[in-house]
Structures are given as structure tokens and as C-alpha cells.
Amino acid sequence: MRTAMGTVMRTDGQLGPEIWIRGPVAAPHPGPRPGPPEPAHASAGPRRHSFVGTHGGAGTSTLATVYGGHDCGRDWPGPADPRSVLLVARTHAAGLHAALHALELFRRGEAPPGLDLDAVVLVADAPGRLPRPLAQRVRTIESAVDVHRVPWVSAWRLGDLTGPPPRETRDLARLTATASPGR
């Protein structure tokens, strides 16, 4: 689980946090390396993610289409799916409750082994500001893990996913290596 400090809590039995730089850092090579070392970014591609809905209608299909990645619906990633998880929830009361429940599963080690929780993606359930009680729940989630907020996009409601991601989602686009947001 990625904490607010940028570390990742692993669920594959390894103890302690690891620092991630666009993917896991390989263990140091025990012997001398032939030739100059290759820059870390030269072979690293974008990190692939699995969007996992914490409740029905969270928006995993839309997010996977707009930002790239695997749409898991409400299921955990399968063996061939990306192991980096982005939990998805709407910003209504039931959605935020479901997100907190899913975070608790990761915290207790009850998520499937080998998954890395990178962040929670909160998709606006309506235009405008959140009511205070919902904003407080969002702050609770933000205290435990990185959160990416996706604003209300009217075009998405109508099924038009062709435009660029909203500019407010720059960090999410960077995380998923999507083209620069421009709305």
C-alpha cells in the first residue's frame, strides 16, 4: 500500500516498506558489471495498473479507457493482470465507505498476495464541492494512501471518452503514463 510518504506496503510476505521509482528496484548485482551501468529509465516502461472498483459503478471501465490500464471491475487482478492496484470509488457516502473497507483489507493483509496498492482514485459522483461529511471521509483516506481525485466530466456521462483527461488529473495521468491532460 502506498503511504502518504510515497512508500509501498507489499502484500507478498516481504517485511518493511519499499521505495518505488516507476516500478520495483532490483536487488544489487553481487559481482562486477561489464561496461558502464545503464540508466534506470532506459529500459523502464510505464508501470501498468489494474483499476479495481470498490463498489459497483465506481468507474473502472471509464478510467481504464481514458488513462490506460486493466479494468478489473470489482474483482482482484488475475495472475496475468498488472499487480499495481488503483482502487476506485465514487465520492458519495457508500463509495467512500467501500474505499475505506478495501483499504482495511490491504492493511490487514487480506488482499491477494503480491498486489501493490499504489493509490485510491476518487471519481466525483456529481458536479460541485463535496458536503463536509464526505470531505472529512476523503481526508481520512488521504491520511492513509495517495488519493487522485477525478472531477465530474459531463462528456463521460454521455459516453464520450475521446477527449483528453481533465487537467485536474495531471498526477493520475503521470502515474498511468497517459498523454498530458488538457481540459
Q: What is the pLDDT of residues 153-169, one digit of tens each?
A: 999 999 999 989 999 99
**How do residues 100-150 score in pLDDT, each as one tens digit?**
999 999 999 999 999 999 999 999 999 999 999 999 999 999 999 999 999
Cα–Cα dist 80/83, whole Å: 9
Is residue 11 a part of any domain in this protein?
A: no
Does residue 39 register a pLDDT over 60?
no
Is residue 112 a part of any domain in this protein?
A: yes
Its domain, for residue 148, covers 48-175
* Inter-residue contact 123 to 58 (CB < 8 Å): yes
Is residue 72 a part of any domain in this protein?
A: yes
Higher pLDDT, 159 or 2: 159
Q: Which of 14-28, 86-100, 138-152, 161-175 has the lowest mean pLDDT?
A: 14-28
- Mean pLDDT, range 65-92, rounded to an integer: 96
Q: Tell the burial category of 68 from Cβ atoms under 10 Å away from its Cβ (0-12, 13-18, 19+).
A: middle
How many domains does the chain fold into?
1
Is residue 141 a part of any domain in this protein?
A: yes
Is residue 100 a part of any domain in this protein?
A: yes
Distance, CA of 124 to chain centre: 16
Q: What is the pLDDT of residue 181?
A: 54
Higher pLDDT, 10 or 69: 69
Is residue 73 a part of any domain in this protein?
A: yes
**Torsion angle (degrees, nearest 10) of CA 37, 49, 144, 88:** 170
Is residue 6 a part of any domain in this protein?
A: no
Is residue 183 a part of any domain in this protein?
A: no
Residue 48: CB atoms within 10 A of its CB come to 15
